[in-house]
Chain A
Amino acid sequence: MTRAYVSADMASVALGADAVAAALVARGCDVVRTGSRGLFAIEPLVEIEADEGRIGYGPVGPDDVAAVLDGSHPNRLGDVAALPFFVDQQRFTFARCGITDPLSLSDYETHGGWKGLKAARAMSPQEVVSAVKDSGLRGRGGAGFPTGIKWQTVLDTSAPEKFIVCNADEGDSGTFADRMLMEGDPYCLIEGMAIAGHAVGAGHGYIYIRSEYPLAIDVMQRAIERSAAIVAPFTLEVRVGAGAYVCGEETALLDSIEGKRGQVRAKPPLPAHVGLFGRPTVINNVLSLAAVPFVLSEGAEAYAAVGFGRSRGTMPIQIAGNVRNGGLYEVGFGITLAQLVHEIGGGTASGRPVRAVQVGGPLGAYFPPSMFDMPFDYETFAAKGGLIGHAGITVFDDTVDMAHMARFAMEFCAVESCGKCTPCRIGSTRGVETIDRLIAARDAGRAPAPETVSPGLAKALYSRAPTRQLTSLEAETAIVRDLCDTMKYGSLCALGGFTPYPVLSAMDFFPEDFGGEPAPLANAAE
């Protein structure tokens, strides 16, 4: 019987992989559903087991199955791992994804699974925490805080119970690595959480998954059941989000698990001291926890040997948006945006020139191609007014209107604000209104300056809201900048605090979309 491998990843399914798998079954194949290899241009991908290894065909539809089985299909790729997209990757975290049956315990074990947990259990908690510190692993959710230091704080805090919480509320547009890992290699995350439990003395863990990821929820739940005996006495459960982006913020997420509105908590106290249900809690992103088994099984030095500056190890980078070869690209830090977008990504899917990339999701900055020589590194991006975030890169072609993207950043913040702090709640709404006026002024050419109205009339018209007379481009631009400043420094969490990044970067790097060089408020008002 022919054995065929077809991904059951949500992206593959969205492209029609289920129908392909069904067609293969109808022809008598033994079909193994895997995770995705991570290159969506070749999905739906079928890999046929042969003496010389797996032979890939993709993209294929259900009608192509006969040609795939007799080897005559033109989309024959041969060894998928040898494709240019894959050869230079360093798959530490995603080593098994796309290759194994995600729920098969024997597949997991034969591909190096549970080695990290066994190694950790042979060590004292402090030794495990020290290993994670030595690896240089930093939080992959976006903030880049050293994972080992977080664990040390929880280990050093004595309490009758502690928790491990996995943040799988991957809401950033342009990111899908958490989803792919949970769907493609769920035991890797479970192993990482069990190691964390051993390291800090926590007995129970929660995986908080957004409701937009139904397949990941299903796979994680089944994986938890099947591996319960292996990770015992550590226990795990899945909690499903309810469509609130802000719950990706760690303290809002904790409130959500507690059954409350997902509102941000003021820090301190840190979750490491007073976290879930008031107990010391390790809260880490999926990718941080999933990197831990490698650190323990291969050694902290092996992980830290790769990377750039203070950003150690690998990052599963997600190449997304208007790009030809979109997908998951795991590689050591230090790769440049130009390599990612042009060489690996192959430029835009539309064939038009690249105009901008947004790095780090809806709260990340937009960069023009002239800045593509930046190495992928936490510090470099911060220095340029941006952030790596969850390492999603969204590519835009030259049809994008950056003023509309700036407006969308404010609109998204207004929709998703938890409402607890004023700069975010009110500032985002005012931001949408101001950018609307700015766009209107831009599209109308320069709007009439306030002095064309007689001073007496202006006072009568605008006395209660003097800023409303400032309808010139320069004035609105100054207001947006001032608002961004207030949001950046006055917001409780990253939602309000980082929404200025996409707005300001769009204004700074693409001034032509905002009607030319912005001028200071004083010039416009006088």
Chain B
Amino acid sequence: MSETLAADAPLTAGEIAAIEKAIQRHKDERGALLPLLHAVQDAVGYVPDAAVPMIAKALNVTRAEVHGVITFYHDYRRAPAGRHIVKICRAEACQSRGGAAIETAAAERLGTPMGTTRADGRVTLEPVYCLGLCAIGPNAMVDGRPVAKVDAAALDRIASEVAA
């Protein structure tokens, strides 16, 4: 619910400037769309729907093409994420080390189901399929920082980090 509202909210002048800047930086590159979308998401935190026509015009492609790319790739968000992003690996190597239980425990401990943002907007819990740390799982990525051997104690630490 809150995600929908935020996505519909008009962009601030700062956000528009950030999108313009990303467009200017990447529009003349070959195959510019992915780097451009990454730049927008890095600056704004997500790819607002309002950015789609701006990007389409700059790259001379249709809005449908831009929309299609945004929705194809798991990384791009169409609504802001929580203040912290916790990704838990679901792939086989982590499963062999008890990953499924950690997945469930993480959802309980962080108070939000896998693939959602908590109602207070503090944390987004997402699945990830392999972080390449496959002999020391179960693994997580907390705000871009890798964490290995995730257990109940590690989840407690992550939960208090998120609360702080």
Do the beta carbons of A362 and B91 come within 8 Å of each other?
Answer: yes
B33 at the interface (CB under 8 A from A): yes
B43 at the interface (CB under 8 A from A): no
Do the beta carbons of B94 and A211 come within 8 Å of each other?
Answer: no
Q: Quick one: which of A43, A174, A176, A245 contacts B92, CB cutoff 8 A?
A: A174
Do the beta carbons of A321 and B96 come within 8 Å of each other?
Answer: yes
A320 at the interface (CB under 8 A from B): yes
B147 at the interface (CB under 8 A from A): yes
Given A10-B146, A242-B76, A261-B68, A396-B96 contact (CB < 8 Å): yes
B119 at the interface (CB under 8 A from A): no
Do the beta carbons of B134 and A318 come within 8 Å of each other?
Answer: yes
Q: Which residues of A contact B133 (CB under 8 A)?
A: 10-11, 14, 176
**A165-173, A307-315, A443-451: which lies at the B interface?**
A165-173
B128 at the interface (CB under 8 A from A): yes
Do the beta carbons of B91 and A14 come within 8 Å of each other?
Answer: no
A292-328 Cβ-contact flags toward B at 8 Å (1 or 0): 0000000000000000000000000011111100110
Q: Which residues of B contact A214 (CB under 8 A)?
A: 144
Do the beta carbons of B92 and A362 come within 8 Å of each other?
Answer: yes
Given A242-B34, A242-B76, A260-B69, A175-B96 contact (CB < 8 Å): no
CA distance A171 to B72 in the complex (A): 16
Q: Quick one: which of B37, B72, B134, B141 contacts A394, CB cutoff 8 A?
A: B134
Do the beta carbons of B92 and A408 come within 8 Å of each other?
Answer: yes
Q: Which residues of A contact B94 (CB under 8 A)?
A: 173
* Chain A residues numbered 460-487 whose CB sits less than 8 Å from any CB in chain B: none
Q: How many chain A residues touch the partner (CB < 8 A)?
A: 60
Q: Which residues of A contact B68 (CB under 8 A)?
A: 261
CA distance A1 to B97 in the complex (A): 41
Do the beta carbons of A261 and B135 come within 8 Å of each other?
Answer: no
B130 at the interface (CB under 8 A from A): yes
A34 at the interface (CB under 8 A from B): no
Do the beta carbons of A179 and B148 come within 8 Å of each other?
Answer: no
Q: Which residues of B contact A49 (CB under 8 A)?
A: none
Q: Quick one: which of A172, A213, A349, A408 contacts B97, CB cutoff 8 A?
A: A349
* Chain A residues numbered 245-278 whose CB sits less than 8 Å from any CB in chain B: 245, 256-262, 277
Q: Which residues of B contact A397 (CB under 8 A)?
A: 96
B30 at the interface (CB under 8 A from A): yes
A416 at the interface (CB under 8 A from B): yes
B53 at the interface (CB under 8 A from A): no
The minimal Cβ–Cβ distance linking B58 to chain A, given in whole angstroms, is 12
- Select the residue from B33, B73, B134, B144 with max chain A CB neighbours within 10 A: B134
A139 at the interface (CB under 8 A from B): no
Given A171-B130, A321-B93, A40-B136 contact (CB < 8 Å): yes
B38 at the interface (CB under 8 A from A): yes
Q: Quick one: which of A242, A320, A400, A416 contacts B129, CB cutoff 8 A?
A: A416
The minimal Cβ–Cβ distance linking B118 to chain A, given in whole angstroms, is 21
Do the beta carbons of B31 and A174 come within 8 Å of each other?
Answer: no
Do the beta carbons of A394 and B69 come within 8 Å of each other?
Answer: no
Report the nearest B residue to A361, measured CB to CB: B92
CA distance A327 to B133 in the complex (A): 9
Do the beta carbons of A10 and B35 come within 8 Å of each other?
Answer: no
Q: How many chain B residues touch the partner (CB < 8 A)?
A: 42
B75 at the interface (CB under 8 A from A): yes
Q: Which residues of B contact A321 (CB under 8 A)?
A: 92-93, 96-97, 134-135, 137
Q: Which residues of A contact B144 (CB under 8 A)?
A: 214
Do the beta carbons of B69 and A259 come within 8 Å of each other?
Answer: yes
* Chain B residues numbered 136-152 whose CB sits less than 8 Å from any CB in chain A: 136-137, 139, 141, 144-149
* Chain A residues numbered 209-262 whose CB sits less than 8 Å from any CB in chain B: 211-214, 239-245, 256-262
Report the nearest B residue to A325, measured CB to CB: B135
A13 at the interface (CB under 8 A from B): yes
Q: Quick one: which of A14, A242, A320 contacts B38, CB cutoff 8 A?
A: A242
CA distance A395 to B97 in the complex (A): 9
Given A394-B92, A412-B129, A326-B73 contact (CB < 8 Å): no
A29 at the interface (CB under 8 A from B): no
B14 at the interface (CB under 8 A from A): no
Do the beta carbons of B96 and A400 come within 8 Å of each other?
Answer: yes
B12-40 Cβ-contact flags toward A at 8 Å (1 or 0): 00000000000000000011111101100
Do the beta carbons of B136 and A242 come within 8 Å of each other?
Answer: no
The minimal Cβ–Cβ distance linking A397 to chain B, given in whole angstroms, is 7
CA distance A29 to B60 in the complex (A): 55
A77 at the interface (CB under 8 A from B): no
Q: Quick one: which of B37, B91, B135 contacts A323, CB cutoff 8 A?
A: B135
Q: Which residues of B contact A361 (CB under 8 A)?
A: 92
CA distance A418 to B130 in the complex (A): 18
Do the beta carbons of A259 and B93 come within 8 Å of each other?
Answer: no
- Select the residue from A179, A240, A257, A261 with max chain B CB neighbours within 10 A: A261
Do the beta carbons of B74 and A405 come within 8 Å of each other?
Answer: no
Do the beta carbons of B146 and A13 come within 8 Å of each other?
Answer: yes
B112 at the interface (CB under 8 A from A): no
Q: Which residues of B contact A173 (CB under 8 A)?
A: 91-94, 129-130, 134
Report the nearest A residue to B69, measured CB to CB: A261
A392 at the interface (CB under 8 A from B): yes
Q: Which residues of B contact A211 (CB under 8 A)?
A: 38, 75
* Chain B residues numbered 62-102 whose CB sits less than 8 Å from any CB in chain A: 65, 68-69, 72-76, 91-97
Would you list 6 pairs from A and B whose C-beta atoms are within 8 A, ordered by A residue?
A175-B130, A212-B131, A240-B34, A240-B35, A240-B38, A243-B75
Known: A13-B145, A349-B97, A392-B93. 4 other contacts (CB 8 A): A242-B73, A242-B74, A277-B30, A318-B134
Interface residues of A (CB under 8 A from B): 10-11, 13-15, 40, 43, 170-176, 178-179, 211-214, 239-245, 256-262, 277, 318-323, 326-327, 349-350, 358, 361-362, 392, 394-397, 400, 405, 408, 412, 415-416, 418
3 nearest interchain CB pairs? A326-B135, A173-B91, A259-B33
